Amino acid sequence: MTTARQNVHGADAGTRARTLSVWHDQIRIRVVSKGSGPAVVFFHGPWGLAWDPFLDDLARRFTVYAPEHPGTTPDTPDDAGKLDGLWDLVLCYDEVIDALGLDSAFLVGHSFGAMVACEMAAAYPDRARRLALIDPLGFWRDSDPVVNWMLMNPGDLPAQIFRDPSCEAAQRMFGTADDPTARVRVMWAMGVTGKFIWPIPDKGLKKRIHRLKAPALLIWGRDDRLVPAVYAEEFTKRIAGARVQMIHDAGHAPQLEQPETVARLVQEFLLPPAETFQGPDICQSSSAHARRGPGKGLCA
């Protein structure tokens, strides 16, 4: 393991970065961390890790560990080639969690990272104390296909990921026209993570998801143009007691477009006040509780 102040996109002086050697020392995983308190492991989406206001908010109550997916760290671009597929990636992350000295943690993930978190919780149920999934992948409906962003014109990506492609979060992710560095980083990360979900992001999770033991919260941007919000139903019908919170004025990355709202929901779910959980059919919205049937609350 090496520890250094490495150049992490969006990170400030309060973050720490260390590189862990796993997979028989063939893969180096940089883990960015911040905060104190119960452990949260955050799995980022397919466009690379950036330390953002959402993670900063979580770090006020938790110790947040954010590993970069293999091959997405600039110094280790070839490491993903050591893994043959999604199952290898899940096993690799089990080694990462061991290397961090954690027996279990709260697992939080976005998009592809939420799929990884869900697979981790299915493969190793005792690893996940609670599971917060933000616009996750993992299933497929022919009638509602997930958009294959790897085949898109790069210039069209911001409008697909964000409800407002001109928002500050989109500019942070993709950079400006006169500075292509951020866009190159995003495109590389997208290609590297693509090997684990190509050609469609259905790798058999439906056969394994019944193994989950942890309570689960799904957060979905109401205007998600990549992964339609109807996919929330695929998760709630397979995860007992799972709840869904829809986020207004947000697309596929609600934690970036509405960071305070999403951070609050995740914090309250991971460390709930006693009065929040009165039964599995209660779903807390920003203004009121809504009841939509046993175990499958869907807040609008």
Residue-range domains of the chain with CATH: 2-299 (3.40.50.1820)
**What's the confidence (pLDDT) of residue 2?**
54
Angstrom distance (rounded) from CA 204 to CA 122: 11
Angstrom distance (rounded) from CA 86 to CA 197: 8
The phi and psi torsions of 284 (rounded to 5 degrees) equal: -90, 120
Angstrom distance (rounded) from CA 229 to CA 252: 9
Angstrom distance (rounded) from CA 214 to CA 10: 31
**What's the confidence (pLDDT) of residue 254?**
98
Angstrom distance (rounded) from CA 254 to CA 163: 9
Angstrom distance (rounded) from CA 154 to CA 160: 10
pTM of this prediction? 0.88
| Residue 91 burial (10 A CB sphere; 0-12, 13-18, 19+) | middle
For residue 66, give the nearest of 105, 93, 30 by alpha carbon: 30
145 is written with which tokens? 């296909």
| Three-state SS at 156 | helix
**What's the confidence (pLDDT) of residue 175?**
87
Q: Give residues with Cβ within 8 angstroms of 276, minimum separation 6.
A: 268, 282, 284
Q: pLDDT 10s digit of each residue in the chain, 300 long?
A: 554 445 666 667 789 999 999 999 999 999 999 999 999 999 999 999 999 999 999 999 999 999 999 999 999 999 999 999 999 999 999 999 999 999 999 999 999 999 999 999 999 999 999 999 999 999 999 999 999 999 999 899 999 999 999 999 999 999 887 778 888 999 999 999 999 999 999 999 999 999 999 999 999 999 999 999 999 999 999 999 999 999 999 999 999 999 999 999 999 999 987 634 443 333 333 333 333 333 333 343
| Residue 279 burial (10 A CB sphere; 0-12, 13-18, 19+) | exposed
**What's the confidence (pLDDT) of residue 43?**
98
Task: Give the CA dihedral 2, 35, 92, 51, nearest 10 degrees.
Answer: -90
